[in-house]
A and B are shown apart, each in its own frame.
Chain A
Amino acid sequence: MSGTFVGMPAFPKAAHEAVNNQTLRGNLRHATHTIRGKRAKAVAEVSDWAALREAGKQIKDHTLRHLDRYLVQVEEAVTAAGGTVHWAADADEANRIVTDLVKATGETEVVKVKSMATQEIGLNEALEAEGIRAYETDLAELIVQLGKDRPSHILVPAIHRNRGEIRDIFAREMSEWGRPAPEGLTDTPAELAEAARLHLREKFLRAKVGVSGANFVIAETGTLVVVESEGNGRMCLTLPETLISVVGIEKILPTWQDLEVFLQTLPRSSTAERMNPYTSTWTGTTDEDGPRAFHLVLLDNGRTDTLADEVGRQALRCIRCSACLNVCPVYERAGGHAYGSVYPGPIGAILSPQLRGTQSEIDASLPYASSLCGACYEVCPVAIDIPEVLVHLRERVVEGGQVTREGNKVVLRPAKGHAAERAAMRAARWAFSHPGALRTGQRLASRTRRLHPRSLPGPGRAWSATRDLPPVPAEPFRDWWQRTNGGKDGAK
């Protein structure tokens, strides 16, 4: 996987730097707390949330357990509907397929709707190297692209930028990329959005090639689904003559009916809305409506290796709603960039080390980028037990063992004793010196008490071997305090 941010320091160091950046922390705190509160309200509106969540989990698990069958079904259905299916084993192959498809059209620019898969494979850079310019068209992605920056959140990639910074980026950079920002641009969100609208519209209207990802692919019908808010998705999906969608093989759902689950849980979990402003579905090509050529690139790039791990496999259920980011005390302080991958936050901490392996320092440190508080598991609309996978991956980092890399079984050596311990301890020290992170950490610790060994798993083992861990209290003081209104309610 080519998505490692080059030269990225390991998580504790990157996080440490982020924590010291006051603006970043302020922007992040505001954003995560706002979405968190709204999400809770949106979820409370549907009485059957638990049943929807369970069904979502079961649909995804079933699909993953029979992925070979569903992949073939997708291929047949998309082909029958007039599309062309390509298979990409890794990032390089996917980039080559897309580059060749674009070149065959004779075009030198493409418009893109935000897609994590194409970020993961570094598609924009690969296209650039072949003289093809890729324009990101999501407002936040535009902010990121113009700011020569990296996205820091799945859903709100420019969450780390405030309006003043955005105004400055637009005023300075837009002219480099096309229509310049209007004179006297202020920092009101409406004016900034208008500037983006004008800047991007000229690109949409002339675009001949669109590139997208997809939220879901329906096996029985070959239908692709894109969920969005701004309409830039609709622009990219319907105006160009050629549409290329790069989709991870884990995005499949068996049937059309399955959408009824995810179209209820995804918007509420991500933007805290009953429904996002736009959802587009398309099946192959349609005469005189939308692109004349449709290509689906099915991407592996580490997913089959992840699938081979019976504990870690559940990470592939992820529907990228970003709810886990918004509740994570570590993410809130460290920001998305510290995770060194396009997948930040709790999901990034379990997905990246599985997609990429744990050889690099950043990937080996990611399983420690958590206080194990369990908040991510609780909000996850497909019930991914992120803490369970984190602990599992910590063990793998430290003890080594058999894993699958690029389809082959390999035996990992344990991380070198004290290097691993140092990484873990640095992460731990960091968490423990940030009381908010620790506070929520303790909550999970008590909830998962029966899972708690008397020694630390992973690299901590060497450290705890000679020390007794304090027993975890049945209920953390903080929870008791909240539950009993500071003891006033007379509960024990």
Chain B
Amino acid sequence: MSSRERILGRVRRALADVPADDTPYEQAVERGYAREHGDRSVGQTVDLLAENLADYRAIVHRCTAADLPATLAGMLAARGARTVIVPPGLDPGWLTSADAEQVPDRAESTPHELDRLDSVVTACAVAIAETGTIVLDGGPDQGRRRITLIPDHHICVVRVPDQVVSSVPQALERLDPARPLTWISGPSATSDIELDRVEGVHGPRTLEVVLVESPAGTEGTS
């Protein structure tokens, strides 16, 4: 007998007490919990996102769409970044003012090559206000998972308010599980040494988030 059959057989025998007409999944779980916590205007939700991101030690910037290239150029310059990784679908207008050399995200580059680069700029899929989380789904403006992992400095651009949701349940509704997802709440951190929080163990030690106002007339918010 294969282990598969053995395990499934054991499970079935172990569950002899479960009736055939046991409550189906749809009725077995009461979802009495909240879809979001609190009652906020769209503007307040964006403010809460900024607040919670900062609380988890991300550096938060806010600007208009028109100011985005100058804002990004300034951030990279302040950091002294000489090289910046760029996902294939990043809006080419965003980095027009930046001095740093732009390195495309390529499947062939090795982890060691990525390790020599200074910064990465990406967009995101959705941002969650209540938890201060940005979620990347590997879309063309976000690139492969590793480009936001190896460089020590990650700049993530969030279009507000249309990419912002209040809560975890709302975020999951918007996300596609078939894509590889990375949820990021603040920079890499550890509390393993006497529970003192230290930023940056293996992931980027600096996370900067730019909340950019969507130009008027784009999608609404949730």
Contacts and interface: CB of A to CB of B under 8 A. Distances in A.
A277 B185 contact: yes
A230 B178 CA distance: 24
Interface of A: 27, 30-31, 34-35, 46-48, 51-52, 54-55, 58-59, 61-62, 65-68, 71-72, 75, 81, 87-89, 93, 137-140, 143, 156-158, 162-163, 166, 189-190, 192-193, 196-197, 200-201, 204-206, 218, 221, 223, 229-232, 234-235, 238-239, 249, 254-261, 263-264, 271, 273-283, 286, 288-290, 298, 300, 304-305, 307-308, 310, 404, 407
Given A65-B15, A205-B115, A277 B37 contact: no
Interface in B29-87: 29-34, 37, 52, 56
Given A47-B37, A166-B193, A230-B203, A280 B182 contact: yes
B11 A304 contact: yes
Given A47-B34, A58-B28, A89-B7, A273 B185 contact: yes
Contact of B52 (A66, A197, A258, A274): A274
A30 B194 contact: yes
Contacts of A230: 188-190, 201-203
A274 B203 contact: no
Contact of A201 (B10, B115, B138, B189): B115
Nearest to A255: B25
Contacts of B15: 65-68, 307
Interface residues on B, range: 35 or more
A274 B51 CA distance: 13
B6 to A, nearest CB: 5
Contact of A193 (B138, B168, B185, B200): B200
A229 B200 CA distance: 9
A404 B11 CA distance: 11
Nearest to A229: B189
A279 B182 contact: yes
B31 A55 contact: yes
A189 B6 contact: no
A72 B8 CA distance: 9
B181 to A, nearest CB: 4
A65 B178 contact: no
A140 B166 CA distance: 33
B161 interface: no
Given A35-B195, A277-B185, A407-B10, A289 B145 contact: yes
Contacts of B149: 231, 234-235, 238-239
The main secondary structure of chain B at its interface with chain A is loop
Interface of B: 2-4, 6-15, 17-18, 22-23, 25, 28-34, 37, 52, 56, 107, 110-112, 115, 128, 130-133, 138, 144-146, 149-150, 168-169, 172, 177-196, 198, 200-204
B190 A139 contact: yes
Nearest to B110: A205
A34 B195 contact: yes
Contacts of B56: 273-274, 277
Contact of B180 (A30, A68, A281): A281
A193 B201 contact: yes
B33 A261 contact: yes
A93 B172 CA distance: 36
B28 A298 contact: no
A248 B178 CA distance: 22
Given A230-B188, A231-B149, A289-B180, 13 more contacts: A30-B195, A51-B32, A55-B29, A197-B201, A234-B203, A259-B172, A275-B183, A275-B185, A277-B188, A282-B180, A288-B107, A289-B144, A305-B10
Contacts of A308: 10, 13-14
A158 B192 contact: yes
A278 B32 contact: no
29 contacts: A30-B195, A48-B32, A51-B33, A62-B25, A87-B2, A87-B3, A89-B6, A156-B195, A158-B192, A189-B194, A193-B201, A205-B115, A206-B111, A230-B190, A230-B202, A231-B201, A238-B144, A255-B25, A256-B177, A264-B33, A275-B132, A275-B185, A278-B184, A278-B185, A280-B180, A280-B182, A289-B144, A307-B10, A307-B15
A158 B12 CA distance: 39
A65 B201 contact: no
Contacts of B179: 283, 286
Given A34-B195, A197-B201, A204-B111, A286 B138 contact: yes
Contacts of B10: 300, 304-305, 307-308, 404, 407
B33 A55 contact: yes
A353 B13 CA distance: 20
Given A46-B37, A205-B115, A278 B203 contact: yes
A61 B110 CA distance: 44
A76 to B, nearest CB: 12
B9 A87 contact: no
B202 A275 contact: no
Quick one: which of A51, A75, A256, A278 has the most chain B CB within 10 A?
A278
A113 to B, nearest CB: 10
Contacts of B22: 65-66
Contacts of A254: 25
Contacts of A307: 10-11, 14-15
Contacts of A197: 200-202
A258 B168 CA distance: 11
A407 B13 contact: yes
Nearest to B188: A231
A278 B203 CA distance: 9
B193 A277 contact: no
B33 A277 contact: no
Nearest to A60: B29
A407 B177 CA distance: 35
Contacts of A156: 191-192, 195
A280 B8 CA distance: 29
A295 B160 CA distance: 39
A143 B172 CA distance: 35
